[in-house]
Amino acid sequence: MNTRQKQVAVVVVIAIILWFVIAPPHWWLNLTKQVDLTDAATTGEQLVQEYGCANCHIVGSEGALKAPNLNTIMSRLDDVSVRLWLRNPRAVKGNTAMPNFHLSDSEIDAIVAYLELLNNRE
């Protein structure tokens, strides 16, 4: 490789790294962020803690009032809408304060299982 080709290669590699950090493609998330769904609701509870959902929502016995209560969300919204909120909040509401957590499909499955459990408890 001559110097020019090396420069191009470096720019391409940096662009790909930036792409995966800023807007990771969903197949990549599914590969790298797979969770075990044997006990989906418990895994979901751990993810809700890990991602700090309670900083904005009431979820379980704790939480804040900046966003809708999630304990009864599964009876207020249908399954497809909840999954879309988790996958890409801006796709539901362009100016929402809800961050995109770049969740994988299995993480979404686990969180939905936990939300179902909370909903059934109410």
- CA–CA distance, 108 with 99 (Å, rounded to integer): 15
Whichever of 18 and 62 has its CB closer to ligand HEC, that residue is 62
Residue 15 CB, nearest approach to ligand HEC (Å):
29
CB of 10 closer than 8 Å to CB of 16: no
- CA–CA distance, 55 with 49 (Å, rounded to integer): 9
Indicate the pairing of strand 58-59 with strand 62-63.
antiparallel
- Would you give the binding string for ligand HEC spanning residues 64-93, x where CB under 6 A is met? --xxx-x--x--xx----x--xx------x
Told to check if 108 binds ligand HEC by CB under 6 A, we report: no
CB of 35 closer than 8 Å to CB of 110: yes
Told to check if 96 binds ligand HEC by CB under 6 A, we report: yes
Contacting residues toward ligand HEC, per CB under 6 A: 48, 51-53, 55-57, 66-68, 70, 73, 76-77, 82, 85-86, 93, 96-99, 101, 111
